[in-house]
A and B are shown apart, each in its own frame.
Chain A
Amino acid sequence: MSFRKRNIGLSSPSRTPQSPTQNSTSSLNPTPKPASPGVRPSPIDGRPTTSTGTPSLDALLAGHTGLALGASLLIEESGTTDFGGALLRYYAAEGVVQGHRVHIVGVGEGWGRELPGLVGAAEDEELEGAGKRKRSERMKIAWRYERLGEFGGVVGSRAPPPPTPNRIPLAGSSASTTTPAGASTSPPTAFCHTFDLTKRLALPSPSPLSFLPVAYSNTNPQASPFTTILQALTARLRESPPTAIHRIIIPALLSPALYPSHASQPQHLLRFLHSLRGLLRLHSSRLTAMVTLPLELYPRYTGLVRWIEILSDGVLELTPFPHLIDNSSSTTTTSGAAIAQEDQPQGMVKIHSLPIFHEKGGGGGALSGLGEDLAFTVSRRKFVIKAFSLPPVDGDTDAQQGKVGGGEEGKQTTHCARKFNMADDDEGLEALAELEREASEFNKDAEIDRILKAFRLDAYAVLGLQPGVPESDIKNTYRKKSLLIHPDKTKNPRAPDAFDRLKKAQTELMDEKQRTRLDEAIADARMLLIRERKWTVDHPDLISEAFAKDWREKTKLVLIENEHRRRKQVKGQMAEEGRQKKKEDEELESRKRKRDYEQEWEQTRESRINSWRDFTKKGGEKKKKKIKVLG
């Protein structure tokens, strides 16, 4: 049990605001001092960063490959699930392993007993299997972030060490950034560990965890429930040695199970978060924070949540897929199905802002993941955030060929269509010549990039059109864009892929049935949003840009849901077909058996008659004998 000091007056901060604090950029010309465990300089600007305990999350933080000290991260989550809680536990466990002080706000000590256990390097190696499997897995997982993730590496799970350990070129970042040699040339201390959610972390003694409960005051029920928390945090930071690294964890902020209702009053909550931001800046070389916020009671469009976001450095939103929540119990089928389930994304991840990156203005550096459709997958041993894609279902030919709506055309036909469109059309050639004059290679690359980034289930988005445009616009846009990015006309290696997606989108929109289905999904998304917000259909905000944006996001979710439903249907249909086939086979079999039996009966008639005759002859004698004996 740790002692908790209470009622300590708010003391003067160790440094006055006028004296510049030891910060981030001052480490650009670093004084040689021993690096703290679990802290390494950012490859972008050398500021100290620490791991969130989730490698794919570290890789998303605008190229810093870790959470910058002095910064906070807000994880928002819609629905009633607690995937964000898993991220917090990894963050806490990583802190414990690195010997950081971990302060947990608002929850009981039970929370700290459920931290995921550490996977040892050897065990990890063994479980990860041979290099072959590892490589194939790495191909699947977040290949685009892989180089970022390799910086420093996860213990045991990234086999080949980077060739030049003290200067790793990073995509998008200036290679000339100074990476202090001391930190990355000492590999034995890992930056990020691997944890297993099914195991429990053995806490060292004395426990590095401390719990800061929410205060209820009977005498003054309207007093801020955060005052004592803030005082305790300030005191602990002041009393600890200046080299100690701290982590603040606030699970399920404002959850009614943990906080009194008046905690959500802006003057309490926002002042607390403002002071927390102040603390982070004051101790910008030894403190980070991570907060989760359930969005169910406090939606993102409210002013309060916007202010919580403004006061946080990075904001991520998790949107779990409803279909997984509904059938979570029924997914335990065969082992094969369970394995397939593990690859499936469990929800979408949206990045709203990133530490440092957006504070500066939002540009430059590594943009990894920003603006893309990201999804998260939680399995036993990792929380992975990667680009969204649905793995194809076995036997679902539509999905395997990458065709969403189904139809007769295969990939082959698409290629033929490509050729056909090219050669046949005089007007097309003319347009092509004109286009080629004005469209530089740059525009082509930008368009290819846009198409590949567009949400592929939404054909309108792929073509860059507004829903509901007339058919002529679709034809026109398709013609222009297909000529622009035609694989024969650009060296871009991703052109064929983009072209195929464009073709697919056009095919889908030209099919009346499929287009209606898509339009319905888009309309559904709008109605869902209106219902969620309890608006009327003439609400003034419906024409705002913010709503349009939310609408687009909601449309994605609806389309994903529809796709899942469709796949389930296909699966069910296949199972049904299987049953039907089996029944037919059985019938056939039984008929055959019957026929065989009859045939045999006919063929063996002679012998049967003979044997009967023999029998009756013999039997008669026996009978007589018997009678004789009895008589």
Chain B
Amino acid sequence: MPPTLPAIPPLLSSYLTLPATQQQPPRLILLTSVLGASTNWLLLRFLHSALASPTPATNTKVIMLSFLRDRVFWVDGAKKLGLDLEKEARWVFLDGLCGRDGVAGLKRELLGGLGKGEGRVLVVVDGVDWLVASAPPSSEAIVVQDILDDIFPSSASGDDGAATTILTLSSLPRPQTPETPLECAHTALLTTLAHRADYVMGLRLLETGVARDCSGVLRVTVGGDGGVEEGEVVYWVGGGGEVRVWERGSRG
């Protein structure tokens, strides 16, 4: 592999670019994964776009809550993209995996971080579906609704506190026919979020099986006036974290 692959694949740049000014409405972006096609590489590129783009937006602050991955993982991944999160003061990481805070504590921290920044704020929640998976039955819907309302007031309200938000979650094997409470809650969350999102970037594996030179398929579905184009591309993630993206049929 040539080591000169750009950190942000050109085909994805329009999706990865975040609203540049305060005037542009904030976005809700949803990244979905399946087993074997994780959203991590994509999320790292969002971080890169927010914190290390060639024209650094003056004071973008990123508050990131990760339920499924530890801090070291994100720092290492970003380092390979040339982004030193360790020294990055604008990156606030809340550890939902090894940390000791419960959901309530994390929420408080998240909202606290949201309040005091000036300029743009990007909220990232990795594995937001963990909230429903870990909740005792019948309470999950409330928790999720709470969090969503706090982090991302519906775009209609035009609230000042609104921030562009990126959420990642996984889709279950049988999305059409949920049966257990866990499956129902999960599906409800996914559907609600998908309806609210400006666009959904769904990752999945190739239908034809495993290929050496292709890791999976990325589909972008746009809701409302997402401001981006719908489309489907194929991607490959290298061992060193480099990513190649191309359209089906045209080998990159």
Contacts and interface: CB of A to CB of B under 8 A. Distances in A.
Contact of B207 (A20, A44, A267, A545): A545
Interface in B187-229: 205, 207, 209-216
B134 interface: yes
A475 interface: no
Nearest to A62: B239
A360 B174 contact: no
Given A274-B97, A545-B207, A17 B70 contact: yes
A166 interface: no
Main SS at interface, chain B: loop
Interface in A275-303: 277-279, 281-282, 284, 300-303
Interface in B135-191: 135-137, 170, 172-180, 182-183, 186
B20 interface: no
Interface string B27-71: 000000001111011000000000000000000000000011111
Nearest to B216: A362
A300 B174 CA distance: 10
A173 interface: yes
Contact of B237 (A21, A311, A364): A364
A364 B134 contact: no
B238 interface: yes
B105 interface: no
Contacts of A304: 180, 182
Contacts of B76: 23-25
A173 B239 contact: yes
Interface in A185-223: none
A360 B215 CA distance: 11
A364 B186 contact: no
A9 interface: no
B104 interface: no
A31 interface: no
A541 interface: yes
Nearest to A367: B212
B72 interface: yes
A24 B77 CA distance: 12
Interface stretch (A351-359, A601-609, A610-618): A351-359
A539 interface: yes
B97 A360 contact: no
Contacts of A435: none
A13 interface: yes
B89 interface: no
A309 B93 CA distance: 25
Contact of B210 (A300, A360, A370): A370
Contacts of A279: 98
B97 A13 contact: no
Given A303-B186, A315-B35, A360-B41, A17 B173 contact: no
Contacts of B95: 17-18
A45 B211 CA distance: 22
B241 interface: yes
A353 B180 CA distance: 24
Given A12-B100, A303-B183, A23 B72 contact: yes
Instruction: Report, as a range, how many residues of chain B touch the other chain.
Output: 35 or more
A363 B100 contact: no
B99 interface: yes
B7 interface: no
A545 B176 CA distance: 11
A23 B205 CA distance: 29
B121 to A, nearest CB: 20
Given A274-B134, A306-B170, A545-B207, A360 B71 contact: no
Nearest to A356: B239
Residue of B37, B135, B180, B212 with most partner-chain A CB within 10 A: B212
A540 interface: yes
A280 to B, nearest CB: 9
Interface residues of A, number: 60
B88 interface: no
A267 B134 CA distance: 5
Given A174-B239, A362-B37, A310 B134 contact: no
Contacts of A311: 68
B40 A541 contact: no
Contacts of A359: 38, 40, 69, 73
B12 interface: no
Contacts of B135: 266-267
Contacts of A271: 134
Contacts of A423: none
Contacts of A545: 207
B210 A546 contact: no
A44 B239 contact: yes
Nearest to B183: A303
A45 to B, nearest CB: 8
A270 B210 contact: no
A544 B174 contact: yes
Residue of B86, B99, B209, B213 with most partner-chain A CB within 10 A: B209
B173 to A, nearest CB: 4
Nearest to A173: B239
A365 to B, nearest CB: 4
A517 to B, nearest CB: 24
Contacts of B211: 371
A18 B237 contact: no
B20 to A, nearest CB: 27
B207 A284 contact: no
Given A173-B239, A266-B134, A301-B173, A281 B35 contact: no
A494 B237 CA distance: 28
Contacts of A17: 70-71, 93, 95, 98-99
Contacts of A352: 35-36
A388 interface: no
B130 interface: yes
Interface in A241-289: 265-267, 270-271, 274, 277-279, 281-282, 284
Interface string A14-53: 0001101101110000000000000000001100000000
A24 B72 contact: yes
B239 A363 contact: yes
A478 interface: no
Residue of B68, B70, B135 with most partner-chain A CB within 10 A: B70
Given A265-B136, A300-B173, A360-B241, 4 more contacts: A17-B99, A281-B97, A360-B41, A546-B174
Interface of A: 12-13, 17-18, 20-21, 23-25, 44-45, 173-174, 265-267, 270-271, 274, 277-279, 281-282, 284, 300-304, 306-307, 309-311, 315, 352-353, 358-365, 367, 370-372, 449, 453, 539-541, 544-546, 548-549
21 contacts: A17-B93, A18-B71, A20-B75, A25-B72, A265-B137, A302-B180, A302-B183, A303-B172, A303-B173, A303-B186, A306-B35, A310-B68, A311-B68, A353-B35, A359-B69, A361-B40, A364-B240, A371-B211, A540-B176, A541-B177, A545-B207
Closest 9 CB pairs of A and B: A371-B210, A361-B237, A364-B239, A17-B95, A364-B238, A303-B183, A363-B215, A365-B239, A361-B41
